[in-house]
Amino acid sequence: MHVGALDRVAMISLHTSPLDQPGTGDAGGMNVYVLELAKRLADRGTAVDIFTRATSSSLPTEVEAAPGVLVRNIHAGPFEGLTKAELPGQMCVFAREVLRAEASQPLGHYSAVHSHYWLSGQVGALARDRWGVPLVHSMHTMAKVKNDALAEGDTPEPPVRIYGEEQVVQAADVLIANTDTEAKQLINLYDACASRVEVIHPGVDLDVFRPRDKADVRRRLELPANASVVMFAGRIQPLKAPDVLLRAVHVLLDREPGLRSRLVVPVVGGPSGSGLEHPESLAQLAQHLGIADVVRFVPPVEQARLAEWYAAADVVAVPSYNESFGLVAIEAQASGTPVVAAAVGGLTTVVDDGRSGLLVESHRSDDWADALGRLVLDTDLRTRLAAGAVQQARHFSWDVTAEQTLETYARAASFMREAVA
């Protein structure tokens, strides 16, 4: 059904701003999700205020990110040097400033609260009760899921996050899951009420991420026209597992030494999370494996430039230990590039195994070398999967995401009315 627009929605993204550059620090797919959804909601007549924590004294209090989308930079704690693990200590200050911002507006200024990630959910629960509007929450990632599939060398999520997530699940009127898999995890691991969980796929901007002339984009990116390009994009941290790709490349080159002269492995992104403790570790691993000559480290780039990298690649590797959805995989496919992805979380929804890419059931180097080798060495297979990748991406649309989210806001409001009655 089509649901009419709400006047204004408050989105809360405490720990990372939608204006931050994805691919480094705490900025990633969630930043893209929040901004793209907000823009599409605004296009439908629902204005969006996004509350986030200011990380610089030079940031203005308010920034218009797009027509109808206002980013409010809240001062809560020191501007720099505060890790995500330390943010719970600033939630009270952040919440107070969010409530204060609303208090200066006419009664009923917001029609709903949509929080992203558990820290924001804690603030959203308080705003829900204070404003008398429904709370819709998107987890994006979950501690119990991450801890069940922890990458080697990564740090487990602390109990405080698990407790906080459980509280948010109980407080939210509706929980939005990116995939059926995430919905089941919310129900089975967090005792979420099944009737309060809605599955809404994120989208992809098909105007930005689209097939391009490969020779042209390779020329602009200074890539050899005849190169075999196997790309990684995302934050450099154990969870995203770029090391799995490098180890697989090492095995592949041992098997196919003639490939070395034309293989290029761009790693587009910057260190994040526990990866910040050893920002040079991936470069050191490449050196240790003897593949530094084929690996090219590229700092995070804006969306338009990232789309060119995707289109220039022959294969995009997504070896993550967990993904609630996997925006990199859908962006790459929309750009006409097949994906080799770990068969985990949302990636099993995003990648159509054997049609738009290949799913790998393990993180073993040999298995990844097998999958990468199949695509790199088989032009016909790569061409067929590239065509399937474009078709697969068309199933995901931010416009559909926005329409379904508006319907979810309306459902959340009806749940809240029933509870009051």
31 annotated as a binding-site residue: yes
Residue type, 39: K
203 annotated as a binding-site residue: no
337 annotated as a binding-site residue: yes
84 annotated as a binding-site residue: yes
Residue showing tokens 């609630």: 324
* DSSP symbol at 46: -
Angle at 283 between CA 320 and CA 357, to 5 degrees: 30
User: CA 181 from chain center: how many Å?
Assistant: 16
33 annotated as a binding-site residue: no
163 annotated as a binding-site residue: no
Is 130 in contact with 27 (CB distance < 8 Å)? no
42 annotated as a binding-site residue: no
388 annotated as a binding-site residue: no
**What are the angstrom distances between the C-alpha of 214 and each of 337, 375, 390?**
10, 17, 15
DSSP H helices in 116-206: 118-131, 143-148, 159-171, 180-190
* DSSP symbol at 24: B
117 annotated as a binding-site residue: yes
Backbone angles phi, psi at 148, to 5 degrees: -75, -20
81 annotated as a binding-site residue: no
28 annotated as a binding-site residue: yes
What is the enclosing helix (H) or strand (E) of 130?
helix 118-131
21 annotated as a binding-site residue: yes
Q: What is the distance between the alpha carbons of residues 179 and 193, in angstroms, rounded to a whole number?
A: 16
**What are the angstrom distances between the C-alpha of 60 and each of 56, 63, 70, 71, 394?**
9, 7, 12, 10, 37
61 annotated as a binding-site residue: no
331 annotated as a binding-site residue: yes
Q: What is the distance between the alpha carbons of residues 52 and 120, in angstroms, rounded to a whole number?
A: 9
15 annotated as a binding-site residue: yes
141 annotated as a binding-site residue: yes
Residue type, 334: A
Is 121 in contact with 172 (CB distance < 8 Å)? yes
Radius of gyration of the chain (CA): 21
**What are the angstrom distances between the C-alpha of 375 and each of 234, 339, 361?**
21, 9, 17
Residue showing tokens 């009051």: 420
What is the enclosing helix (H) or strand (E) of 388?
helix 379-393
Q: What is the distance between the alpha carbons of residues 74 and 344, in angstroms, rounded to a whole number?
A: 35
127 annotated as a binding-site residue: no
52 annotated as a binding-site residue: no
313 annotated as a binding-site residue: yes
Which residues participate in the annotated binding site for UDP-N-acetyl-alpha-D-glucosamine?
Answer: 21-22, 29, 235, 240, 301, 323, 331
Which residues participate in the annotated binding site for 1D-myo-inositol 3-phosphate?
Answer: 15, 26-31, 84, 117, 141, 161
Which residues participate in the annotated binding site?
Answer: 15, 21-22, 26-31, 84, 117, 141, 161, 235, 240, 301, 310, 313, 323, 331, 337
Which residues participate in the annotated binding site for Mg(2+)?
Answer: 310, 313, 337
